[in-house]
Chains A and B, each alone.
Chain A
Amino acid sequence: MFQNIGEILLLFWLTLLALPQTWRQRRKVCEQLFEIGNASLLMACILSIFIGGVIALQTGPVLRERGLASSIGGLVGLSMCKELGPVMMAVLISGRIGSAMAAEIGSMAVYQEIDALRTMNINPVHYLVLPRLVAISFALPLLVIFSVFVGWVGGAAVCVFNREIAISFQTYFSNLRTVVELGDVINGLIKSLVFAVVIGVVSCHQGLHTIGGPQGIGRSVTKAVVNSLVLILILDYFLTRFLLYFEK
């Protein structure tokens, strides 16, 4: 386990050192961005509508009973931008994109394509890891912004159309505007950037260390997703603790 952690940190460091090469790899970065957007935008939309909706559904009637129906907007707004948007999008991207990264790079490792790159003096970190890490670091925060807005709308729709809650769009959004500040959205974006780096580095590391044919590729994909999810949830707690200091 400690060897794995060391290797992951080393890969992250090597990718950071390769950052000046990003402009040279811009075509691959764009391809990866398109891939991530194409694979996850619809899913992100569906997921976010229902997450926003279910928070409103769970909390709305309870708050109404206590005469706090007008604060549902703020509750959904804060939950989406500080916690559920970043974490749920990270889970989605880890499953859809992290697994694809591990599978693609893993298959290249198994079929000696990475060895072939090395013999041509092409650094696999520059050629394979850097474009993926840069793309996912841009894409995940963008997806989180999209998800937060869609989640807010999902919550609003439930508040308006559910008879047990029945508050207007105006009430919902005016409370949301009062409670949610720009700092809360930035808080979520910082989390999502960290999660993106974790997914990218862990998945690429698993891919690069794949051995043993198709079974090995399967193992790498599973490990990439599971390890990313565990790290995301652990880091979420510590990041929340850390970011709370700046709110005081």
Chain B
Amino acid sequence: MNGLPSNHRGVSVLVQGLRKSFRGEPVLKGIDFAVAPGEIFVLMGPSGSGKTVLLKHLIGLEKPDEGEILIEGESIQSPEVMSKHRLAMVFQSGALLNSLTVGENVGLYLSEHRTHPEAEIARIVAEKLAIVGLKGLESRYPSELSGGMKKRVAIARALVIEPQLILYDEPTSELDPLIAVTIAEEILNLNERIQVTSIVVSHDRDLAFGVADRMAIIHEGRILLIGTPEEIKANPHPLVQQFLNADFRKEKKPS
């Protein structure tokens, strides 16, 4: 195979009746939603609500107890899906291969699938690293990077695939606000440039409302609400409002 496949259109995702339990403890209690090709769909919810488990199901890392996930109408568990469509996931921890350099990590998909000659891979890797603000760090090892830098390398590794579906697990956690803005812009750019379908799990309200075409609020393994950012903001559901408006102020002591 020479070069990545030419189909750059995003893929549709359909989740139907998804249920999952771990040691008898239900984590996902019947999740249904659909994401259109090229859409940016954000999943928000408190910690422990099942967002990451849901994301792992969406890329086939977990098998559901019940229900199914269809990518362009084909089950994610079918072996052809991964070779037919380019899917990528940005893990919360980065999940970089510690025995490889940054450059090798970013170019891993291309070198393992022999999609490009080595010189071309080096050029693509440099380009993607520059996008996430890590130009020239190809020869470093992950252990020499900060948590935020690792996350950016993981994003560069996902970008290299030119994915049709990209899943982000907390893409801006551990990042400073400037880099968080860069990452949000890159999510939008990628969506514009190659019409990738993006599913973003995040606590970051600025990111979520800044990039989402539609959002879902997930709570205790169920989806409470799906809608556009405006519809979500306007919804009076107390749990949704509590989550969206949670804030704190240091109380001033009376002098």
In the complex, the answer to whether B61 meets A119 with C-beta atoms within 8 Å is yes
Complex interface: chain B residues within 8 A of A115 (CB):
56, 61, 91, 95
Q: Any chain B CB within 8 A of the CB of A3? A: no
In the complex, the answer to whether B97 meets A112 with C-beta atoms within 8 Å is no
| Cβ 8 A contact of A122, one of B56, B59, B61, B112 | B112
Q: Any chain A CB within 8 A of the CB of B113? A: yes
Q: Any chain A CB within 8 A of the CB of B93? A: yes
Complex interface: chain A residues within 8 A of B97 (CB):
108, 113, 116-117
Within 8 A of B (CB), among A68-109: 104, 107-108
Complex interface: chain B residues within 8 A of A118 (CB):
60-61
Q: Any chain A CB within 8 A of the CB of B82? A: yes
In the complex, which range does the number of interface residues on chain A fall in?
10 to 19
| Cβ 8 A contact of A116, one of B83, B87, B91, B113 | B91
| Cβ 8 A contact of B113, one of A104, A108, A111, A121 | A121
Within 8 A of A (CB), among B109-128: 109, 112-113
Complex CA gap A157/B24 in Å reads 65
Complex CA gap A10/B97 in Å reads 25
Name which residue of chain A comes closest to B85, CB basis.
A121
Complex interface: chain A residues within 8 A of B157 (CB):
120
Complex CA gap A245/B161 in Å reads 56
| Cβ 8 A contact of B89, one of A108, A113, A119, A127 | A119
Complex CA gap A119/B154 in Å reads 12
Q: Given A112-B91, A115-B91, are A120 and B109 also a contact pair (CB < 8 Å)?
A: yes
Complex interface: chain A residues within 8 A of B108 (CB):
120, 122
Within 8 A of A (CB), among B72-106: 82-83, 87-89, 91, 93, 95-99
| Cβ 8 A contact of B82, one of A104, A107, A108, A121 | A121
Complex CA gap A117/B157 in Å reads 11
In the complex, the answer to whether A120 meets B112 with C-beta atoms within 8 Å is yes
In the complex, the answer to whether A120 meets B88 with C-beta atoms within 8 Å is yes
Complex CA gap A113/B142 in Å reads 12
Q: Interface size of B by Cβ–Cβ distance < 8 Å?
A: 23
Q: Given A118-B60, A118-B61, are A112 and B109 also a contact pair (CB < 8 Å)?
A: no
| Cβ 8 A contact of A120, one of B56, B60, B99, B161 | B161
Complex CA gap A189/B164 in Å reads 50
Complex interface: chain B residues within 8 A of A111 (CB):
93, 95, 98
Complex interface: chain A residues within 8 A of B83 (CB):
121
Complex interface: chain B residues within 8 A of A108 (CB):
97-98
Q: Given A120-B88, A121-B83, are A113 and B61 also a contact pair (CB < 8 Å)?
A: no
Name which residue of chain A comes closest to B91, CB basis.
A112
Complex interface: chain A residues within 8 A of B56 (CB):
115
| Cβ 8 A contact of A112, one of B60, B87, B95, B113 | B95
Complex CA gap A178/B91 in Å reads 64
In the complex, the answer to whether A122 meets B109 with C-beta atoms within 8 Å is yes
Complex CA gap A112/B98 in Å reads 11
In the complex, the answer to whether A119 meets B93 with C-beta atoms within 8 Å is no
Complex interface: chain A residues within 8 A of B93 (CB):
111-112
Complex CA gap A122/B108 in Å reads 9
Complex CA gap A118/B91 in Å reads 12
Complex CA gap A20/B83 in Å reads 19
Q: Given A118-B61, A119-B89, are A113 and B109 also a contact pair (CB < 8 Å)?
A: no
Expressed in whole angstroms, the minimum distance between the Cβ of A134 and any Cβ of chain B is 17
Expressed in whole angstroms, the minimum distance between the Cβ of B154 and any Cβ of chain A is 8
Provide the A138-170 mask, 1 if CB < 8 A to any CB of B, else 0.
000000000000000000000000000000000
Expressed in whole angstroms, the minimum distance between the Cβ of A124 and any Cβ of chain B is 11
Name which residue of chain B comes closest to A119, CB basis.
B89
Expressed in whole angstroms, the minimum distance between the Cβ of B165 and any Cβ of chain A is 10
Question: A108, A113, A120, A122: which has the most chain B beta carbons within 10 Å?
Answer: A120
Complex interface: chain B residues within 8 A of A104 (CB):
99
Complex interface: chain A residues within 8 A of B61 (CB):
115, 118-119
Q: Given A119-B61, A119-B88, are A113 and B95 also a contact pair (CB < 8 Å)?
A: yes
In the complex, the answer to whether A119 meets B87 with C-beta atoms within 8 Å is yes
Chain B residues within CB distance 8 Å of chain A: 56, 59-61, 82-83, 87-89, 91, 93, 95-99, 108-109, 112-113, 154, 157, 161
Q: List 5 A-B contacts (CB under 8 A).
A: A104-B99, A116-B91, A116-B96, A121-B83, A122-B108
Chain A residues within CB distance 8 Å of chain B: 104, 107-108, 111-113, 115-122, 127
Known: A112-B95, A120-B109. 16 other contacts (CB 8 A): A108-B97, A112-B93, A113-B96, A113-B98, A115-B56, A115-B95, A116-B91, A116-B95, A116-B97, A116-B154, A119-B87, A119-B88, A120-B88, A121-B82, A121-B109, A122-B113
